[in-house]
Amino acid sequence: MSAIGKVYLVGAGPGDPGLISLRAVDCLQKADVVLYDGLVNPLLLRHTQAACERTCRSPSPDGRVLLQDEINERLVANAHAGKTVVRLKGGDPYIFGRGSEEAAYLKSHGIPFEVVPGITAAVAAGEYAGLSLTHRDSASTVTFVTGHEAPDKPDNEVDYELLAGTPGTLVFYMGLARLPQIVQSLLDHGKSSETPTAVISRATTPLQRTVSGTLEDISAIVSDAGLHAPSLIIVGKCVLQREQLAWFEDRPLFGLRIGITRPAAQSDPQIARAIESGAQPILMPTIEIRPVDDSSDVDSVLARIDEFDWLIFTSVNGVNALFSRLWETGGDTRRLAHLKFAAIGTSTGRALEQFHIRPDVIPDEFRAEALAVSLRPLVSGQRVLWARASRGRDVLPQELTNAGATVEEVVVYQNLDVSSLDTSVLDAITNGELDWIGLSSPSIARGLANLLPESAKSQFGVTLRIASISPVTSEAARDAGLPVHAEATTYTWDGVFDAIETVHRTDSLPAVGTRG
């Protein structure tokens, strides 16, 4: 019989994936099973290799429902199977999150558990909207209230007379659908109709929206704004701070949804840049990076690496693949001490620096033609090895051969097209819920064109735009029938985001050389 596992009741925070704790990440990394609720940002699942399942106490888009009793039973069953289980809950597990009910159930069944606190929605929503829930001049208390129960329910445990007399801040969770009743109950028990009131929807995410008014008019304002759940209602003088303290919604790409077409496992820097800029990253990889099926060619080249004078890399993947194979075959960087190194750009150069190698050549313009120009005066009579992908442009071999070099190529990794895009991504495109797609290579551009149905392509220039990393990628996109609305001047993903910012500031849709 296997030993009993352990359950971690983990707070995921309010929506911004950067607000999860280090302890929570540690739990996710060692989990075998993750049961996460509907308020959890799916990007957090990148921290785990566990089997993940979304729990739905109300019907999900696919019609599934998982009741609380079933969730409790699954936690126990997985622990009895010896698994490490993470119950990942939006906000904090114990603040209107049923975490204490789950803990009690685990305790009654002899299952060891641990609670990992999370940032609760009220605190994060207030601060991301520019509201300090407490302030020495205006609010010495803050009260968290469930807005889920109807205020006029006979056995309602919420004392609205007490709340109406509270001088501090009131925060109602899950109350959007009952906003008019909550407001009326406060007014009926003596709360001033002039009390400042705000409603914050989808707090801490790029879709955050905040409206404010008074108890008298907030219901009408929210109705006109068309806010969505999850939302919080905040009542009190702290709402008046918003004009001075708001910051989150001022980010340069706030509210935009940007498709990241890189392989999912390599998208962390782009996800971070999108979030830092206020955008919502949408993972939609069009290619997959895999090791070569047969390493014999790589091993053969490494066995005679002494024959070469230069080693050229045109991608981060090439660097990682070659050095990984070097290590796996019993070698290390001492085998490469006689070589000079060239990298196509700064990202590839930084990948070399991870192995304590400084590139001898990085061109000013991050493209194969510029790398060839930089190398031509240096490689005459030299033997050059290019560690490359299974497919790509063949500019370098011809240019360097013409310059008098002897060039050999070795495929160190595979660049493969994915078979399909996630259904949710296609739905977002066709429904006008994606604003930009970033393209970072010709193969990605061609892959995207092949994956998109005509219904999705019809959104280009209407609700959807494309940003390209370079002129070469733009040309490949146009040849594949895709318009380009922004083009990076620095050929990196940071350059892609900079180009999007430039267009976003003018709110225009200038297609770059679109072919009909």
Say if residue 478's pLDDT is above 80. yes
The residue from 394, 415, 436 where one domain ends is 415
What is d(CA 458, CA 502) in angstroms, rounded to the nearest whole number? 24
What is d(CA 165, CA 143) in angstroms, rounded to the nearest whole number? 12
In a shared domain, residues 171 and 197: yes
Q: Residue 233: give the domain boundaries.
A: 123-250
Instruction: Specify the amino acid at residue 258.
Output: I
In a shared domain, residues 407 and 424: no
What is d(CA 185, CA 180) in angstroms, rounded to the nearest whole number? 9
The CATH code of the domain that includes 86 is 3.40.1010.10
Identify the pLDDT of residue 491: 87
In a shared domain, residues 268 and 236: no
Element (H, E) at 387: strand 383-389
The CATH code of the domain that includes 225 is 3.30.950.10
In a shared domain, residues 448 and 394: no
Say if residue 204's pLDDT is above 80. yes
CB of 235 closer than 8 Å to CB of 170: yes
The residue from 89, 119, 149 where one domain ends is 119
Q: Does some domain include residue 58?
A: yes
What is the SS3 assignment for 407?
strand
In a shared domain, residues 332 and 387: yes
What is d(CA 392, CA 476) in angstroms, rounded to the nearest whole number? 12
Identify the pLDDT of residue 1: 52
CB of 316 closer than 8 Å to CB of 381: no
Rg of the chain over all Cα atoms, to the nearest angstrom: 28
Identify the pLDDT of residue 516: 33
Q: Does some domain include residue 1?
A: no
In a shared domain, residues 322 and 405: yes
Q: Does some domain include residue 189?
A: yes
Say if residue 107's pLDDT is above 80. yes
Nearest to 323 by CA among 352, 350, 294, 301: 352
pLDDT of 383-431, one tens digit each? 999 999 998 778 899 999 999 999 999 999 998 889 999 999 999 999 9
Task: Please state whether beta strands 209-214 and 196-201 pair in parallel, antiparallel, or not at all (unpaired).
Answer: antiparallel
Say if residue 256's pLDDT is above 80. yes
Number of domains in the chain: 4
The model carries a pTM of 0.82
What average pLDDT does the chain have?
92
In a shared domain, residues 246 and 274: no
In a shared domain, residues 365 and 471: no
In a shared domain, residues 38 and 87: yes
Identify the pLDDT of residue 265: 83
In a shared domain, residues 330 and 227: no
- Where helices occur in 12-66 by DSSP H, the ranges are 22-30
Identify the pLDDT of residue 65: 73
Across the range 165-190, mean pLDDT stands at 95
CB of 151 closer than 8 Å to CB of 162: no
Q: Does some domain include residue 448?
A: yes
In a shared domain, residues 326 and 399: yes
The residue from 93, 119, 145 where one domain ends is 119
Cross-strand bridge partners of residue 460: 464
pLDDT of 42-89, one tens digit each? 999 999 999 999 987 665 555 567 888 999 999 999 999 999 999 999
Q: Does some domain include residue 512?
A: no
CB of 201 closer than 8 Å to CB of 229: yes
pLDDT of 437-463, one tens digit each? 999 988 899 999 999 998 888 899 889
Q: Does some domain include residue 513?
A: no
User: What's the Cα-to-Cα distance from 123 to each of 19, 28, 130, 437, 474, rounded to whole Å?
Assistant: 12, 24, 11, 33, 44
Across the range 495-516, mean pLDDT stands at 73
Q: Does some domain include residue 475?
A: yes
The CATH code of the domain that includes 365 is 3.40.50.10090
Q: Does some domain include residue 514?
A: no
What is d(CA 398, CA 371) in angstroms, rounded to the nearest whole number? 12
In a shared domain, residues 395 and 295: yes
φ/ψ (deg, to 5) at 426: -60, -40
